[in-house]
Every structure is written in C-alpha cells, then in structure tokens.
Amino acid sequence: MSVYNPISSSEDARPPSARIEELLGQNEPPLPAEKEYLEFAVRQSNSTLSILDTRISHAREALDSLLRSKKEKEEEEIIQAAKIILHPMRSICGEILLEIFSWSVYDVSDIMDVGEPLDSLNPCHAPWTISQVNRRWRSITLASSRLRSNIALDFERYTYIGISNRMCMFKLSLYLKRARDSELSISLFADSDGFKGTLGLLEASTRQWRNLNINAYPKSVKALAENSFPLLRSLQVHSENIKYTPVESGAPKTVLAAPELRIFRSVSNAVPCSMLDLPWKRLETFSCSDASNPHCIRVLRQLSSAKSLYLRVHKRHTLDLAEGAIVMPSVESLTFEQRKGGERSMARLLDAFILPSITFLSLTFPKASLSHFPTTFDASTSLTSLSIDCHLSHAHNATLFFGFLRLTPNVTVSRLSSSSIPDEVLRDLTLAEGKDPIVPFLRVLEIAPGTSWCDMKLFMGMLESRCNDGDNIMDPTQGSSGEETYGPRTLKRLHFKRTGKLLLSDSEDRERWGRLCRVLEVLYHFVST
C-alpha cells in the first residue's frame, strides 16, 4: 500500500532542515510558503497514522493466526508422539513379541525350499534388524535361540558382493553362538570354492542339525558329509551334474552318519544317490528327480521302510531289472512325474514296482504329448486315491487311460486334470448296464480345469449314473444315451478346480444341475474368463 509522505512530497516547498531548527529556536512565525507546507504536513500525518494503525492491526491478526497454527501443530505433534508412545506394541509381553518376531525370520519350509537361495547373514534382514529397534527388543532377540534356529547361507552371493571369508566366519560364529544348543535347520548354497572358510564352524555345529538343504559341488558335499549328524532327520541335496560312475564299478561312496535320517530328496539329478551312502533302509520319505537312473534304482531296491515316494523322470535310461522287480512293501503314497525326454520311462518303472500297501498314486504326464500308462502295475487291492494329469484329447491317451483305470477298481477319490474331457471319456465313465464299471466305488471326483472344456449334458449324465439321493428316486435314472444306469452310486462330492462359468444351455439342464447339487457336495474354484 502506498502512503503519502509529507516530508518528501514537495522538495521545492519544503524548508531546509536548518530553517526548521531556526524556527524551533524562536517565536517568529514561518513564511507563507513554509506555513502552507507545515499545515499540509500536519493534515496528512493523521491519515498516515490511521493507515499505519490498520497495517499494524492486520499484522497482529496474521501473527495471532501463525501463533495459533504453531500451537495446533505442537499439539498435533504431541498427539502423534503420544500415539507412538502408547502403541500396544510397547506393552505387549515378551512371549507374544517373540512369537511375532518369529514370523519375520525363515522357517523350516523356507530353509528346505529348492527355489532362490536365502541369506541369514544379511544385516538388512531379521533378526539383525529387530535387535536395533530398542533395548527391550534387543534383549528379547538375544535371549531367544529360536530366532536363529534356521540358518541360510548363500556363499555365491558373498563371493559376488565381495564379502571376505573373515567376515563370513565372524557373522556365522555370532549367529551360531546366539542359536546356542537349539536344533538347527541349515540351507547351504556353496560356490566353486566351497564354504568360504566356514567349514570348520559348520562342522562344529553338525550335532545340532535337524534339517539340511545343500546345493554344492560334489567335493563340497563329500567334505561336509564326512561329519556326524546324530539329529539329522531331513536331507535335501542338489549337486552339479558329473559323469556318473557305473553302479557295478563299486566306487567308494561317502558314508553319512545320520542314524535319525528319515527324509531324503535328490534334486535335479541322481548325483547324490551315486556318491552318498545313507541309511536307506530307515528312510520314510524318498524323492529323486532322475528316478530311472541306475543309481536311483539301486537305492529304490533298499527302501524297505519308505512310506512316501516323490519321483520324476526326464531322461531315458536303460532300465536294468536283472535283479527282478523292485519291492517296496511299506510305500503308501507315490507321486510320479514324467517330463519331456522321458517317454515310457514312468510306465516301465511303474510296471517294475511291487507296492502292496499303496493307497495314493499321482501320475503327471507332459502337456500335449502321448501318455504311456503302466500295463502290469498291480494296485487293484489297496489303491483308493488316484490323481492323473494327462492330455485326454488324444485318442491313444484315452484308450490307455481307461485300460489303467480298470486296474484300479477300489479307487474312491479321483482327481482328473486335462485340458479338455472328450465325449468318449465321459461316456466310458458313465455307469450303465452291460458295461464294465470303471472305478465304480468313486466317492470324490475332482475335475481340473472344469466343465468349460466338456459337454455338460454328457457330464451330468455321468454324474447321475453315480449319484444316489438316499431314497432311490434320482431322476432321471438313465444316462444321456438312454441306457439304464447301475452300480453302487457312491459319488458324494464334486470339486471343480480352475473352472469357468458352467455352460447350462436350457432350463432342463439347469433343473438337472440343481437336482445334482442337492445330492452332491459341490465345490468350486473359479477363475476369471
């Protein structure tokens, strides 16, 4: 705002400063021009003061507003600080805090995962970070060995980022010291140089190891396996492929002293089976990714106590069965997967198995390829649960599929996964008089991906032939082909996996489906289409 200044308004009319002093020192009246100027200055001064008063008032209002804002901000900060100080985490008891902390560190499933390597020595990960929050949290983390009972070491990463052997040894020794005497689960991803000078520290703790996942070159695996593992229960080994020595060569193997070992997994190949001598007869779970390899066959013949098998074939090996069939009397569950490159290997190996106690069998074939099923595998008595993943649209596959199903008459739980379910498959699964019943005692049927890939009328006819509403009034009682249905009608549950919208074309189909849903327990797992 511009304010008139009478002193500087008219340089010509304003008397000099000396003249003003002279007039103040005497009683003489001013000259007319001087008087006019001075009177004008007096008149203007009142207006100037009024303007200044207004500006001062505005400034005071602005200052008061700023002071209020400052006070509100201070009060808000106090409230925020109070919320932080009063946060329930500050008053939670140590036992609950410890349980929460345990969720932020690796568990046994993480340690035994064959995926990306983990790193327990990273200072940016728990439990290192937790101990830096406050004194109480630090005391809790240091007092608990539980937070350090699962250790993952990635030596390839340490080499890549330039961590020295000395630093690895220091951090690992600190970790082991704080783990104290607790049972340990260990994951080791070694590089070509092995364990970066930490082998001595690792060897000193092997008596505490409960689970071990090792990914290393054969020389590193052998160096570690020469120790004693009195508590080791689960061992998983992934070693780089080497030239296999013939089974009959009698090459010396590294004996692993692990009397409590019950679970063994050979990942990617059968190298661990070729170089390690384990207490095979005591194993309860065995897994191998190259099951038709002669070294794996040698191990399979020794699994007299195994209850669960997880096998995969991806290469074609000469299957030597000169020693006769492979008998595993205790096996109850077999999960078998065939990859491309292993044609017929799974079927040939299954035909060589004698599994008198098996109750669950899962077979997975490569996508969009010929599926070779076993022809002499005998599971007619004990097998009650069956899972098959194959390409049924191929006529050859469908024929062999039904040939195999006829060998498993007592199956009550079945999972079928196929990109589509042809009409012929649905007709063959429909129970009808004059036809040999296929899995007649089926109680639970799981379909993947679902009914979007099959004829719904035929599908419902197949279900109707297997359902019973309890009063024998299931209507219609005929399949879609007009044949009278028969059989025990034991189906109770239907589970759709990865299904889309059910294609019910007319009111009759919807009525039939509603009737089925009143009889069956139907579960859906929808996906967007």
Q: What is the pLDDT of residues 413-454, one digit of tens each?
A: 999 888 788 888 888 888 888 788 888 899 999 887 655 567
Same domain, 36 and 154: no
- Structural domain total, the chain: 2
Is 381 a domain residue? no
pLDDT digits (tens, 9 = 90+) for 148-175: 999 999 888 888 888 888 888 999 999 9
Element (H, E) at 202: helix 199-205
Same domain, 107 and 227: yes
pLDDT at 299 over 60: yes
Nearest to 441, CA basis, from 517, 400, 384, 361: 384
**Which one of 30-44, 137-151, 480-494 scores highest in mean pLDDT?**
137-151
Looking at the DSSP bridge assignments, the partners of residue 288 are 266, 311
Is 176 a domain residue? yes
pLDDT digits (tens, 9 = 90+) for 98-109: 999 999 998 888
- Helix ranges restricted to H, 86-134: 94-102, 108-111
Same domain, 141 and 190: yes
pLDDT score at 28: 83
Helix (H, G, I), strand (E, B) or coil at 241: coil
Same domain, 203 and 75: no
Strands (E), 70-224: 150-154, 184-189, 209-216
Same domain, 98 and 57: no
pLDDT at 333 over 90: yes
Is 27 a domain residue? yes
Q: Is residue 487 very low, low, confident or very high in pLDDT (cuts 50, 70, 90)?
A: low
For 362, list phi and psi in degrees, rounded to 5: -125, 125
Is 78 a domain residue? yes
Same domain, 118 and 155: yes
pLDDT score at 477: 40
Round the average pLDDT of the chain to a whole number and report it: 83
- For residues 390 and 369, is the Cβ–Cβ distance under 8 A? no
Same domain, 76 and 103: no
Domain boundary among 85, 103, 133: 85
Same domain, 121 and 206: yes
pLDDT score at 195: 80
pLDDT at 120 over 80: yes
Nearest to 172, CA basis, from 188, 159, 191: 188
Domain span at residue 30 reads 17-85
Q: What is the mean pLDDT of residues 41-63?
A: 84
Same domain, 227 and 118: yes
Q: Is residue 213 very low, low, confident or very high in pLDDT (cuts 50, 70, 90)?
A: very high
Q: Is residue 282 very low, low, confident or very high in pLDDT (cuts 50, 70, 90)?
A: very high
pLDDT score at 229: 93
Same domain, 173 and 207: yes
Is 290 a domain residue? no
Same domain, 99 and 209: yes
Question: What proportion of the chain, given as a percentage, has pLDDT over 90?
Answer: 23
CA angle centred on 31, ends 26 and 36, rounded to 5°: 115
Is 110 a domain residue? yes
Domain boundary among 210, 232, 254: 232
In angstroms, the CA 395 to CA 402 distance is 11
pLDDT at 463 over 50: yes
Is 304 a domain residue? no
Domain boundary among 70, 85, 100: 85
Same domain, 76 and 109: no
pLDDT higher for 298 or 500? 298
In angstroms, the CA 358 to CA 378 distance is 10
C-alpha distance from residue 172 to each of 98, 107, 161, 165, 308 (Å): 22, 18, 17, 10, 35
> 210: which residues sit within 8 A by CB, 6+ positions away?
183, 184, 185, 231, 232, 233, 234
- Listing DSSP states for 461-476 in one string gives HHHHTT---SSS--S-
Is 103 a domain residue? yes
In angstroms, the CA 354 to CA 351 distance is 8
524 burial via Cβ count (<10 Å: 0-12, 13-18, 19+)? exposed
Pairing mode of beta strands 385-389, 413-417 = parallel
Nearest to 328, CA basis, from 350, 300, 286: 300
Q: Which long-range contacts (CB under 8 A, 24 or more apart) does 264-269 make?
A: 264/234, 264/235, 264/236, 264/237, 265/235, 265/236, 265/237, 265/310, 266/237, 266/290, 266/296, 267/114, 267/215, 267/236, 267/237, 267/238, 268/238, 268/241, 269/239, 269/241, 269/293
149: left (phi over 0), alpha (psi -120 to 50) or beta: alpha
